[in-house]
Amino acid sequence: MPDRRDAARRTGNSVAEAVEPPAAAPARVRAGGSSRVALGILLSRITGLIRERVIGHYFGVESIIADAFRAALRIPNLLSNLFGEGVLSASFVTVYSKLRARRLDDEADDLAGAVFGILSLICSVLVLLGVLLTPVLIDLIAPGFTGEKRALTIHIVRILFPGTGLLVMSAWCLGVLNSHRRFLLSYTAPVVLNAAVIAVAIFFGRYTPENPLVLYVAWGYVAGSALQFLVQLPRVLELLPYFRPALDFHSQHVRTVIRNFGPIFVSRGVVQISAYIDQMIASSLPTGAVAALGYGQAISVLPISLFSMSISAAELPALSSAIGSEEEIAAVIRVRLSAGLRRIAFFIIPSAVAFLVLGDVLVALLYESGRFQRDGVVYVWSVIAGSSVGLLATSLGRLYSSAFYALLDTKTPLRFAVIRVILTTALGLLCAFPLPHWLGIEQKWGVAGLTASAGVAGWVEFALLRHALARRVGKTPLSVDFTLKLWSVALLGAGLGYSLKQALGTAHPLPLGVIVLSLYGAVYFGGTALAGVPESKTTLAAIFRRIGVKR
């Protein structure tokens, strides 16, 4: 197949002349990419919450099976999180996007093929090792599990590991699609995974006891993982017409990706270690703590995914494509970063307030069904209330990290991530074990201390990231006036929602949740629009436009 570089030679031009990079253009901040990412994530998260509701319906919260299943999901997902979306975006997408910005399309295709080949080899080896060493992993990650709970967790993990390798390859597809600004498909793909799990759980749940049912659901995850990869692959191959998988360790661009991959891998690994430390601690708390932590994190990650991840993922290729002098690149990053931070804060602040004040309404709306009853609702509410402490810091920190990755600086976020993990561990142990005793409450409530302590550590990491980036590209602060308006209106809306909840008393969770949360959302959007917040007016205009309402 002819090489595009050969075509350049036949026209008498040198490769350098054929790929001469365009002059740096002024940055234009557009929300279109992040909107498509947010829409894709919204669809996948909605189906993910339906999946969690179905799982909660059959397995409940404070049960051995619920704990085992939640711990089992966490362990093989380590591979997906370490080698998947975040690391590939920060190492592969940054280099791949710069090649495309400089019109080096052949080298970009070669890079994509090499990364695919290397990832395939690494994942195959690690999946095999993971299946063989599962008992050792269980003892490391969930040392509090013994007997039946430990045996069941081992069985589930061994089923899930092969699907995890497919999820990593799915993340490679996402990296290619994102670099070509094809955001919707890549972030909608997890819908098929969630649909597979839901279908398996409902089909077998009608007549299957809990122990075999949890194994069927695990096989549903594996089938869904394969589907998630396969639905993206045809579009990726269209974008890479000269794609050839290869084990090429000699290319300069491949070496750059590998060089960036190491610190980012460790950085993401450090963050994952923090999450695994939380699970290790929770495994030594009373039965149900691991499950409650998992159910709560499924909710708390929703605003981060919808708003922080969507904006960060959409901005990373744009930030990485900035070319020109250091001053021009810094100007592009500063403008895009400032706009992105405002958009994230506009959505994350009301999410944090809702978790704290109206968390029981939200949890009941999403989960209360079957074996998941009121006690479980309150337990999971404590988890998301704790996560509200650091929700804003964690969300803004992702965008700051993306800016460092766009500058090909992977070591600075790593240093700060290590600090965060040390703080999370120390504070987590304190809040999970001595603190409940000092407060005279049941030990199980220590799980809320885990998420709150992680939030405090998240604020420390955020402050360090912001200070370090300001020294590189200049300050990008959120104005006090802007944030004060958001917090004030969110607290007002939450107060009104709480009063309405009290007035409605013991109404069914579904209508109660819809009514209370609708009031809260209406007050927040209406109040911020009246306060002159541009992001509110822009969001409302986009909503009205999509539903065909003229204003």
pLDDT tens figures, 72-87: 988 767 667 666 655 6
Q: Among 159-163, 259-263, 507-511, which stretch is predicted with the lowest mean pLDDT?
A: 259-263
Q: Quick check: 513 and 367 in contact, CB under 8 A?
A: no
Write down the pLDDT at residue 266. Answer: 67
**Residue 19 in tokens:** 């790929």
Per-residue confidence band for 196, with pLDDT thresholds at 50, 70 and 90:
very high
* Beta-bridge partner residues of 372: 369
pLDDT over 60 (residue 393): yes
Write down the pLDDT at residue 519. Answer: 96
Write down the pLDDT at residue 383. Answer: 96
**Residue 334 in tokens:** 């500063």
Determine the straight-line distance between the first and last CA of the chain, rounded to whole angstroms. Answer: 54
If one compares 236 and 248, the residue with the highest pLDDT of the two is 236
Mean pLDDT of 514-541: 92
Mean pLDDT of 242-265: 79
**Residue 550 in tokens:** 């003229």
Write down the pLDDT at residue 172. Answer: 86
Q: Among 3-17, 116-130, 353-367, 446-460, which stretch is predicted with the lowest mean pLDDT?
A: 3-17
Per-residue confidence band for 153, with pLDDT thresholds at 50, 70 and 90:
very high
> With left for phi above 0 and alpha for psi between -120 and 50, is residue 180 left, alpha or beta?
alpha
Task: Give the C-alpha separation, 83 to 151, whole Å.
Answer: 27
* Residues ≥6 apart with Cβ < 8 Å to 113: 240, 243, 244, 245, 246, 248
Task: Give the C-alpha separation, 119 to 429, whole Å.
Answer: 36
Task: Give the C-alpha separation, 551 to 536, whole Å.
Answer: 15
- Residue 369 has φ and ψ, to the nearest 5°, of -175, 145
Percent of the chain beyond pLDDT 70? 85
Q: Quick check: 239 and 176 in contact, CB under 8 A?
A: yes
Task: Give the C-alpha separation, 549 to 542, whole Å.
Answer: 10
Tokens 């030990």: give the residue.
443
Mean pLDDT of 245-263: 80
DSSP string, 270-333: HHHHHHHHHHHHHHTSSTTHHHHHHHHHHHHHHHIIIIIIHHHHHHHHHHHT--SSHHHHHHHH
Side chain identity, residue 548:
G
**Residue 542 in tokens:** 């986009």
- Distance, C-alpha 113 to centroid of its chain: 26
Is the pTM higher than 0.85? The answer reads: no
Write down the pLDDT at residue 403. Answer: 87
* Residues ≥6 apart with Cβ < 8 Å to 546: none
Where does 433-479 have alpha helices with state H? Answer: 434-439, 446-473
Per-residue confidence band for 244, with pLDDT thresholds at 50, 70 and 90:
confident
pLDDT over 70 (residue 33): no
pLDDT over 90 (residue 151): yes
Mean pLDDT of 452-472: 94
Mean pLDDT of 63-74: 90
Structure confidence by residue, pLDDT tens digits, 281-331: 999 999 999 999 999 988 998 898 778 877 776 676 667 666 667 777 888
pLDDT over 60 (residue 191): yes
Tell me what the pLDDT averaged over the chain comes to.
84
**Residue 263 in tokens:** 């610190």
**H-run or E-run covering 168:** helix 147-179
Question: What would you measure as the largest C-alpha separation in the chain, in angstroms?
Answer: 82
Task: Give the C-alpha separation, 71 to 294, whole Å.
Answer: 8
